[in-house]
Chains A and B, each alone.
Chain A
Amino acid sequence: MKRTRFITTVCMAFTLFLIPVLAFLAFTLPALLERYFELTAAYNATILIERILIAFYVCLPAGFAALILLAKILRNLQKERLFVRQNVLCFRWLSICALYVGVACAATGIVYLPLLLIAVTALFIGLLLQVLVRLLRTAREIAEENSLTV
């Protein structure tokens, strides 16, 4: 139990750390990408930067939403509220965010393979989370029934 609490706290800290990191990237990514492609002397850097930036800014709201939802789930875990309706809803919205990122990256990544790989990964994560939502929903019903078993 102690170890679970420690891991949950670490995950929460990491999630909260990622929010300002994402905000920082939202402002600095264009400059960082220009510098990166300058150093690597990549061919057609301007087009690549454009594609990456489009994908990033389209996915950015989903990224923030996902981090906030994750923080809510972790806070519930810290309070030992596992099979509650809020967690089910958060996971559902997390899967929608992942699917959205997958579709967005696929749409912008047709000409840039790494974005397509990110798209496939995000779609797979979205699918996994959908299965998890079904599982959690059933677990919640069982937990509710158990809590009302005298």
Chain B
Amino acid sequence: MKVILVNLDIMMARRRISLGELASRVGITQANLSILKNNKAKAIRFSTLEALCRELQCQPADLLSYEEEDSLR
């Protein structure tokens, strides 16, 4: 089954930014960012996606991908 995956860890590694720092820059809690990073989130607000793209200097497609669920493991 295909699902939307969040490739936040890849972008964070590229930009060399920690979870805590990114969370404070984006304006969400570390816990929520962790939920997003671990693909546990059910939905993402456009405002959050916009803030992530701004801070990580990337496109939404860099953060989100539509892949098979098995690739989560």
Residues of A in contact with B (beta carbons under 8 Å apart): 144-145, 148-150
Interface of chain A, main secondary structure: mixed
**Total count of chain B residues near the partner, CB < 8 A:** 12
- On whether the beta carbons of A149 and B45 are closer than 8 Å, the reply is yes
B41 — nearest CB in chain A belongs to which residue? Answer: A150
A144 — nearest CB in chain B belongs to which residue? Answer: B42
Q: How far is the CA of A145 from the CA of B40 in the complex (A)?
A: 11
Q: Which residues of B contact A144 (CB under 8 A)?
A: 42
User: Mind listing 5 A-B residue pairs with CB under 8 Å?
Assistant: A145-B42, A148-B40, A148-B43, A149-B44, A150-B44
**Which of B10-18, B28-36, B65-73 contacts the other chain?**
B28-36
Closest chain A CB from B3 CB (angstroms): 14
Q: How far is the CA of A148 from the CA of B45 in the complex (A)?
A: 11
In the complex, whether B59 has a CB less than 8 A from a CB of chain A is no
